[in-house]
Structures are given as structure tokens and as C-alpha cells.
Structure 1
């Protein structure tokens, strides 16, 4: 099922010449964030006034796609001793990947055998990902940045009203 998301930021009035670059920046940062998080969407519509910046994102996926990932570890000569027993390097690598030494496979990379672990990473739901949009907002830059001690935003172009 496709989801829609509205992000609306109320501000103290910003100069008119700052509105268009600000909404373009917000759109780009939001799109980049969603792509980085592997969340697909149809489009981002923008709405803005000197006191409001808003995005309407349509067609959001329900969750991130699941990912199967092959993680490279130490070389085989480091991972196993002369008797074929696992070394601390291999045991630590597999534990760090949430696996056991039974899950280890070997693959050649440029003529050298390396330890690999196959991982399945389940996608997170979109509502969990969207909580990270706060970072998109706080990363925005403006021609003049102001420090606000009374708000959760340390630096922002104007005080966020709501």
C-alpha cells in the first residue's frame, strides 16, 4: 500500500528571497534522505510562504526492501590456523556480524581467499524511517543562521513556530 506524508514547518517570517531556495533545499534533503534509507516514493510536492515550508510526499513504500548482504572479513590465512581451527579473528568477525563460525564461507578476491558471512537485513517500516526527518530539518542552512536556546533546534534560519 502506498502512503503519503505531509511535513509542514511553521516559522517566524523569513525574507521572501530566502523562501524558494529554502524549500528547494528541504525537498532535495528529504529526497536524498529517503533514497539513502531505501524508501521509494512517487514524488515530492512543495508548498511555501514566508511563514511556512511544507512537503507532501506521495507514494511512499510501506517499508524498506529487505537486503541480502555479503560481508567480507579477514583473509583465510588469518581466519584459520595451520590445523584449520578458527582463530580469534574469525570468531570475532562472525560474532560482530551476528553469526557463528558455521555461517562462514570463503570467496576469492584478487586471488586471495577471504572469509564472508551472508546477512539478511529486514527492512524497517516507513513510520520508523520518517522519524529521522528531524535530521533533514536540522541540517538545513540559511544565509543567516540564528541560535535558539528555547527550542530543540540548535541552529535554524528562524525560530520554528510549530
Structure 2
């Protein structure tokens, strides 16, 4: 799987000087938490703060989540098939709900009971899809005592936001964060 370096920068009006370190550290911690919850591996997350901006550099982050397999549990094998080995109404309802056929079913042991299940392959989401959500959540969770908003936006932040930069290597990730479209400047 390919790895990328991501740059995120949020430009705003003058941030409170006493809050810079707290905001920087909280943004880093919330972003790391979001990346871990999304299952995206990375080498490091470096956070920066200046009077008019907060920034992150995410090094060697995965291009996408790993593909996974999700198990959907059905009825017990004993209740799934009748005496002739044909599917019962319970199994037919399970298959209809999952949109599958008998050939796609598997079984597994749940304690002392053998159950029918369906193993669905789930393709991992791309970094371009996940990262804007992770960053917006991180910004929403920052420890801000009093939030402000500009007249042009309903989004609240410690100070009105002026611009957003979101780059994956040298390409802009299409995103809207804090009601601002991400760019490269």
C-alpha cells in the first residue's frame, strides 16, 4: 500500500497567544485519535501553531484503509434447515435481508451452537475521503472556551477561519473544512 505525506493548515484571525500550545497539542491528539480509529497507519503527526494558523504534517500515512471482511450472523444451523436440508423461513429471511444466495453462506461456532453467517468483503475507504472528516472532528473537539463565527458562516471556531490548505504530497485533497474549500495556498 502506498504512503503519503499530508499537510493541513488552517488560517484564521489572531489566535489567543495563551491558547496556542493547548490548541496545537489538542489538534495533534485528536487527529492521531481519528487516524487510529479509522485504521490508517502513519509514521508521525507533527503539529504547529502560529498566531494566525494551526498546522499538521502527517508523515507516511496509508493511502486507504485495509480491506476487511464483515460477518453478518444468521440463525442457528439447526433452525436454518429443515429435515430435508432445505432452507427454512428464518434462513430465507436472513438471505433476503442480506441479498445473497445459499452458496454465499458460511457457518461458524458460537459457543456450543453452530450458526449460519455471511462474510461480506468491505473495501477500505481512501485517505481523500476519510481525512476531511477526521480533521473536521478534530477541530470540533478542540478545547475552546468561547467560540466565534464570522458573519458569512455558521461554523464556530476560536476565531473566524480565513483559509484551509489540505495537500496530499503535492496534490490538493478536495474537501470543505470549517465551511472553507481546501486549496494549496
Identify the TM-score tier after normalising by the shorter chain.
0.7 to 0.9
Contact 1:141/1:156 (8 A) holds in 2: no
Find the counterpart in structure 2 of residue 41 from structure 1: 42
Match of 1:135 among 107, 130, 137: 137
Pairing of 1:65-144 with structure 2 (within 5 A): 65-81=66-82, 83-97=84-98, 99-132=100-133, 133-144=135-146
**TM-score calculated relative to the size of structure 2:** 0.73
**Deviation at 1:84?**
4.0
Compared with structure 1, are the counterparts of its residues 152 and 136 closer, same or farther at alpha carbon in structure 2 (3 Å cutoff)? farther
Structure 2: runs of 5+ lacking an equivalent: 164-185
**TM-score calculated relative to the size of structure 1:** 0.82
Compared with structure 1, are the counterparts of its residues 135 and 88 closer, same or farther at alpha carbon in structure 2 (3 Å cutoff)? farther
| Aligned pairs, number | 161
Find the counterpart in structure 1 of residue 169 from structure 2: none
Compared with structure 1, are the counterparts of its residues 36 and 77 closer, same or farther at alpha carbon in structure 2 (3 Å cutoff)? same
Find the aligned partners of 1:161 and 1:147 in 2 and give their Cα distance. Answer: 11
Greater displacement, 75-84 / 50-59 = 75-84
**Deviation at 1:25?**
1.2
Find the aligned partners of 1:96 and 1:148 in 2 and give their Cα distance. Answer: 47
Pairwise CA RMSD: 2.4
